[in-house]
Amino acid sequence: MTQAPALEVRNLTTTFAGGRLTAVNDVSFTVLPGEVLGLVGESGSGKSVTLRSIMRLLPASGAVSGHVRWQGRDILTMSDADLRGVRGGQISMIFQEPMTALNPVLPVFTQIEENLKAHTDLDRAARAARARDLMDLVGIPDAARRLKEYPHQFSGGMRQRVMIAIALAGNPTLLLADEPTTALDVTIQDQILKLILDLRDELSMSVVLVTHDLGVVAATCDRIAVMYAGRIVETGTVRDVFAQPAHAYTRGLLGSVPHAGTERSMLLSIEGTPPPLDRIPAGCAFNPRCDFATGPCRARVPVLEDLAPGRSVACFNRTAVTAAGSPV
């Protein structure tokens, strides 16, 4: 029997500037209970806007359509009161920039406590105990003292842990983690990723992990969804996609990771840059950068087709791409 998804995103489309700019274009994916899905793509591909759209955390200029099914309901159409119950509680988000997501004028305890007040029945003493437990859980020593401190008193790595503690306060069943380790040094990155995986195991939490580091994906994710210019262009298990990429962009991303045991590197080496939203090329958005491009690629947008259950690709020349083999 196939497992019911924890989260089901269908035809998610997000536009800005009165519909003139499409940042997320007809995106569909599912996340199973206890699964870690890696959402990857170069800067500007729409990863953060996708997560913010799911949580209805966009500025007023953003318009979202499609469906985000969560426990039998659609987050995009639920009432604000219901949304408050889900957001920060059942579904939590770790933001890409911890300093903008943390409130600089409130001590860390107050920020954790706000979440506990909103999503648990704990009294004040129990909230204080739980806040100390959360600090221990995310590996911040001397919890009782540090809870009284303000975000600027924490180092980058510790601030990221504070964000995770706040995100976990409501015992989420789904964690949306947007580049939770970028800009941290490698040792701290590894600790935080391990922490997220431990919590996945302990709490049976599902995770959507946004990253542009394929080493992180290989080490932490079960499945991968690759985004380019607002669309998902390939999905599958990490093992299948790394072994046999079927989209030329995915193959390019994998090729930009240095070989021979190098675990991590940034995605830098595909020629050219992703298009700005007001200049997305006709046809396949990747065609000006693609070594496999042919006539149809410049005329039509390839749709995502299922190759096997849980494995899909949107590339006219997937046979040639697959035949070229994995660069890793």
Ligand X SMILES: Nc1ncnc2c1ncn2[C@@H]1O[C@H](COP(=O)(O)OP(=O)(O)OP(=O)(O)O)[C@@H](O)[C@H]1O
Site pattern 86..125 for Mg ion (x: CB under 5 A): ----------x-----------------------------
Return the residue of 199, 248, 254, 267 that touches ligand SF4, per CB under 6 A: 248
Q: Which is nearer to ligand X, 62 or 180 (CB)?
A: 62
Return the residue of 29, 70, 109, 249 that touches ligand SF4, per CB under 6 A: 249
Instruction: Please tell me whether residue 251 binds ligand SF4 under the rule CB under 6 A.
Output: no
- The token pair that represents 256 in the structure block: 């930009």
Instruction: Please tell me whether residue 316 binds ligand SF4 under the rule CB under 6 A.
Output: yes
Of 2-10, 58-66, 67-75, 282-290, the window that binds ligand SF4 (rule: CB under 6 A) is 282-290
Phi, psi at 37, each rounded to 5°: -100, 125
Instruction: Please tell me whether residue 287 binds ligand SF4 under the rule CB under 6 A.
Output: yes
* From the list ligand X, ligand SF4, Mg ion, none, partner contacted by residue 277 (C-beta under 5 to 8 A by kind): ligand X
- Work out how close the CB of 249 gets to ligand SF4 at its nearest, in angstroms, rounded to a whole number: 6
Q: SS3 breakdown of the chain: % helix, strand, coil, rounded to 5?
A: 40, 20, 40
Q: Which is nearer to ligand X, 140 or 184 (CB)?
A: 184
- Taking the CB of residue 195, how many other CB atoms lie within 10 A of it? 17
Phi, psi at 69, each rounded to 5°: -90, 130
Length reported for the chain: 328
- Could you give the angle at which helices 156-168 and 186-203 cross, rounded to 10 degrees? 10
Return the residue of 130, 159, 161, 212 that touches ligand X, per CB under 6 A: 212
* Backbone dihedral region for residue 76 (phi beyond 0: left; psi -120 to 50: alpha; all else: beta): alpha
Compute how many residues bind ligand SF4; rule: CB under 6 A.
14
Q: Which residue has the tokens 């499409």?
A: 22
Instruction: Please tell me whether residue 53 binds Mg ion under the rule CB under 5 A.
Output: no
Whole-number Cα distances in Å, 80 to 11, 55, 83, 88, 173: 22, 11, 5, 13, 20
Site pattern 74..113 for ligand X (x: CB under 6 A): ----------------------x-----------------
Instruction: Please tell me whether residue 44 binds ligand X under the rule CB under 6 A.
Output: yes
Spatial strand order in the sheet of 305-308: 91-94, 174-178, 206-210, 36-40, 223-228, 231-237, 311-313, 305-308
Contacts with Mg ion in 2-31 (CB under 5 A)? none
DSSP secondary structure of 281-327 = PSSSTTGGG-TT--HHHHHSPPPPEEEETTEEE--TTHHHHHHH---
d(CA 235, CA 297): 20
- Work out how close the CB of 15 gets to ligand X at its nearest, in angstroms, rounded to a whole number: 9
Return the residue of 3, 11, 43, 77 that touches ligand X, per CB under 6 A: 43
Under DSSP, the state recorded for 279 is G
Answer yes or no: are the C-beta atoms of 281 and 288 closer than 8 Å: yes
- Sites of contact with ligand X (CB under 6 A): 16, 21, 23, 41, 43-49, 59, 61-62, 96, 212, 277
- Sites of contact with ligand SF4 (CB under 6 A): 247-249, 284, 286-287, 290, 292-293, 297, 302, 315-317
